[in-house]
Structure 1
C-alpha cells in the first residue's frame, strides 16, 4: 500500500477514470507544496542544524459516486518531512463510502477500507497542507512520528449526523488497525530495532456538538489501542508491547475576523518487554494547545499558539525520569513546551505562502519512549522555523 508502484497505479487510474467515467460521478483534486525549514539545537527536522528542503507534500485525491448512496474515495501522496515522519509515497486512504437511508433527522455513513479518522479537530485535514493552521501542528496531539497511524486505519468507520433547531450533533465510531513501518518501529524502540511492530487494534469514539448559530463547537473523543513487538532472531530486543488510552476534549470559537481553538488530551500508556523481559513502564501523561488566528484581510492571517506536553503527570519537570536512568536521559525529555508565531499569505486563488517560527523548551515529543537507544541529540531549549509555498487544484 505504500510502494511507488501502488501510487503510480492510483494516479494513473484516477486520470483514466476522469476521462472514462461520467463527469457528474467523478471528481478529483490535488495539491503541490514545497518548503524550507530548520531545527536549531535539535534533530527534530534535520541533523547538524542544517537548513533543509525536506518539506515536500504532493497529493491527489478522488471520489467516484457509483450511485446516490455508494462512492469510492481515496488519496495518494508523496511526503518528505525530514526526520518528522517516513519519507516516500503512500496511500493515505482508500475506502467505500456507503450512505445509509436517513432516519428522521439523522444521516449516517459507513466507510469500509482504509478510512480517514475524524476524531480530532485536525485529524481529517492534517494530510492536506492548505487546510492546516500551521505547517507543523501542535505535537502534543498531532505527533508527527505517528502521522500515518493517526491519520486513519484499515477497518470500519460509522458517522452519524443530526441537525435540528437545537443544534448539530456528530457522532463517530471506528475500529481497525494501521500497518507499522520499520521507521515507526525504530521511532518507538530505537534505531537498532529489527523486528516487527504490529498495531493489534485501534478502537475510537468521538462526539461533536454545535449550537444553531454555528459560531462555536465542543467535542470529546476516546481511543483504545494495543501494539505488539516481535523481535528478529539476531537482535537484543525481546517480545513486548504497548497499550494506549487517549481522552481528548476540544473547543472551537468562530468570530468575524478571528478564530480560537484548543484541544486537551490525557493519555495512559503501559509498556512491557522490548528492552528486557522484565521491563515495565506505566505513564499517565497529558498535553494540549491553544491557538488564536486573526484574519487581517482576505489575504493575510496571523497565528499565535502555545503547546504543552508532559509524559508523566506526576513528574512534570522530568526529574524522576533523569534519576531513574542515572542521568542517561535528561530531565527535559519528560516534557515539551512550544510557543508559535505564524503568518499565511494568499496572493492568488489556490496559492498560499505560509511561514512560522517555534520556540521550544524540552524534548518530550521527539520520541515515544525515551531510552538509552532512543534519545535524539536535542538541547533543552531549541527552536525551528519553516516556510512553505502551496498550490492546490
Structure 2
C-alpha cells in the first residue's frame, strides 16, 4: 500500500512536468478490487482464499522529433501470492519510425517492450483495454504473466495501409523477463533454483478490415533452470507457442475466439525418486469463445467458455494418472472455465467490473509444470472478482 501511495506522488509530479512541455504525453490508471476462490491455488498459496487487488500505472511518450520517441510505463501490482508484487518497470523503449515503403509505416523499437501474443497480451495490465478482470487462462496464464509480457531486445513493426484493410507484421528478438515468482509458478517452492532466459523471438501477423480482425502468432520461449536443491537436477524448457485469433464486432455485440498450441519440451529435471514426469515432450492445447454485448454506451455484458488441455494426446489424463506413485489426479489434465461478467462505464474515467467463473479442472493452476494436489485439491471450483478502475 505504501508503494501505491508513492506511485500517486509520482503521478502528481508527472502532471506538473507535462504541463510545462508539450513534447511529453502521459496517461495513467488506478484500480482496486477483490477476488475470492473456494478450492484452488490460483490467488493465494493454499487451497482456496481471497485477496485484494491493487494496481496502478503511469505511461508516457516523449517525442524528440516526429520520427523518434521514447515510451515507457511503470506499474504497481499487488494482486495475490503468485505475482511479483510491487513497483516495476513495465516497458521502456526507443522508437524510430519512418515511411520506407509506399502506403506504410515502419517502426524499430529498442529496449524493454511488450510481447504481442494473441489479442490481449500486450495490453493485459490495463483494465480499460481487456474484456474482463481475468483473461482466458488457457492462453493468457496469470502465473506466467511477466514472462509472457516483457522482452528485452529489438522489435521491428510494419503497418501496410491497403485498399482493403490494414496488414501489420511484427517480429522481435530478445530475452524474456523472469520475475521472482517464476520458479514457484512453474515447479513450486519445493524445488528452488535460478532461471535464465535464452535469446527468444516471436512473429506476429494481423489483418484488419471493417469489423474483422484476424491474427496469427508464433513465439519461442526457451529457459534454463539451475537447480539449488538436492531433489531435482538442472534442466531446461523449450517452448514453441502458436496462437490464431479472430474478432468480429458489430455495434451491439462482439465475438472473439482464439486457438493456441504450445509445445513443451522439458529436458533434464531428473528427480532422485525416479519420477520422470518433468522430463517429457508434450503439446498443450487451448481454445476459447467469447461474446460481449453492448446494450448501451456504458454497459457491457460478457459470456465466455475457455478450454485447456495439458497434453492434447492425453486429454482425459489416462497417462497422467498412471505415473508411478499415483501423484496426479486426472483433473490436472484439462480445465473448462465458464465465465459471465458485466462492466459499467459511468463516464470516460471510471470502470466497474465484476465476473464469476465456474471451473472444472486444474491444468493451468500453479505450479504449472508440476501439478500439486496438496494445494489444488478439487476438480471443480469457482472464482469471483470485482474491480473499480479510474484513468486519467
- State whether TM-score is above 0.5: yes
- 1:269 maps to 264
Structure 2: 5+ residue stretches without partners: none
Shift of 1:322: 1.2
Q: Does the 8 Å CA contact 1:329/1:371 hold for their aligned counterparts?
A: no
Which of 228, 235, 245 is equivalent to 2:224? 228
Q: Does the 8 Å CA contact 1:11/1:60 hold for their aligned counterparts?
A: no
Q: Does the 8 Å CA contact 2:18/2:24 hold for their aligned counterparts?
A: no
Partner of 2:198: helix, strand, or coil? Answer: strand
Partner of 1:149: helix, strand, or coil? Answer: helix
Shift of 1:20: 7.3
Partner of 1:316: helix, strand, or coil? Answer: coil
Which of 248, 254, 258 is equivalent to 1:253? 248
Shift of 1:42: 1.5
Shift of 1:151: 1.1
- 1:241 maps to 236
Q: Does the 8 Å CA contact 1:187/1:374 hold for their aligned counterparts?
A: no
Q: Does the 8 Å CA contact 2:117/2:243 hold for their aligned counterparts?
A: no
| Runs of 4+ that moved beyond 4 A | 7-14, 372-375
Cα gap change, 1:228 to 1:14, in 2 (>3 Å): farther
> Separation in 2 of the partners of 1:334 and 1:25?
52
Aligned length: 385
Residue 138 (structure 2) pairs with residue 140 (structure 1): yes
- 1:306 maps to 305
> Separation in 2 of the partners of 1:151 and 1:304?
25
Give the structure-1-normalised TM-score: 0.92
> Separation in 2 of the partners of 1:371 and 1:193?
10
1:318-375 Cα offsets, whole Å, 9 max, x none, are 1210111432111111111100000001123310110000000000001354537686
Give the structure-2-normalised TM-score: 0.92
RMSD of aligned alpha carbons: 2.4
Q: Does the 8 Å CA contact 2:265/2:282 hold for their aligned counterparts?
A: yes
Report 1:1-393 matches (<5 A): 12=10, 15=13, 19=17, 23-46=21-44, 47=46, 49-53=48-52, 55-211=53-209, 214-232=210-228, 234-276=229-271, 279=276, 280-367=279-366, 369-371=368-370, 376-393=375-392
Shift of 1:40: 1.2
Shift of 1:160: 0.6
